[in-house]
Amino acid sequence: MEKPLFILNGPNLNRLGTREPQIYGSVTLSDIEASCRAAVPGLAVDFRQTNFEGELVDWVHEAIEKAAAIVINPAAWSFTSLALLDALKMYPGPIVEVHISNIHRREAHYHHSYVSLVATAVIAGLGAEGYPAAVRAAAAILDPTNPSAIR
Ligand code: CA2
């Protein structure tokens, strides 16, 4: 059986759809999960969210053995977590970082993501559409016949 794609979400994203629709839209994380599952027919998806940094680090360790690729929205830990960066450095497969908002159009403290230092690709500012786009991007990177893939 093919390894699944891990889609990992960081803190507060479980509250999506409850505030700041002008920045994040009005969809919920459940809506996003459904869009990810529908994005690439036949691709197994393991979709998770946590408000605990160590749990996310543990999931990245788990991904080393179990995941074909990682799609990750690390939320606030993008800008703070060397522990997450160190864990992702150990992951040998593709990593697609996704942000719902365009972090570069926001306050300066959102401009530097540690995760981007190890990400294969970064998607920001597409709204919730960024997630299925990230899933399709991960599938394209994994496709050994794709001549345009940058690994
Ligand atoms: O744009 C993104 O996806 C972010 O990763 C979301 C993070 C923020 O710290 C990053 O700068 C950009 C924040 C997630 C907050 O989640 C929400 C919860 C309830 C309502 C709206 C957003």
CB 74 within 8 A of CB 100: no
Which ligand 1 atom lies nearest to the CA of residue 106? 11
The sign of the torsion formed by the CA atoms of 4, 45, 96, 81 equals negative
pLDDT above 90 (res 126): yes
CB within 8 A of 3, min separation 6: which ones?
A: 44, 66, 67, 68
Distance 92 CA to ligand 1 centre (A): 27
Where b means 16+ CB within 10 Å and e means fewer, 79-109 reads eebeebbebbeebebbbbbbbbbebeeeeee
pTM for the full model?
0.97
Taking only the tens place, the pLDDT of each residue in 10-54 is 999 999 999 999 988 899 999 999 999 999 999 999 999 999 999
Distance 131 CA to ligand 1 centre (A): 13
Q: Is the CB of 48 under 6 A from ligand 1?
A: no
Taking only the tens place, the pLDDT of each residue in 105-125 is 999 999 999 999 999 999 999
Distance 143 CA to ligand 1 centre (A): 30
Please state, in angstroms and rounded to a whole number, the distance separating the CA atoms of residues 72 and 84.
11
Task: Identify the residue whose C-alpha is closest to ligand 1 atom 8.
Answer: 75
CB 68 within 8 A of CB 143: no
104 in catalytic set = no
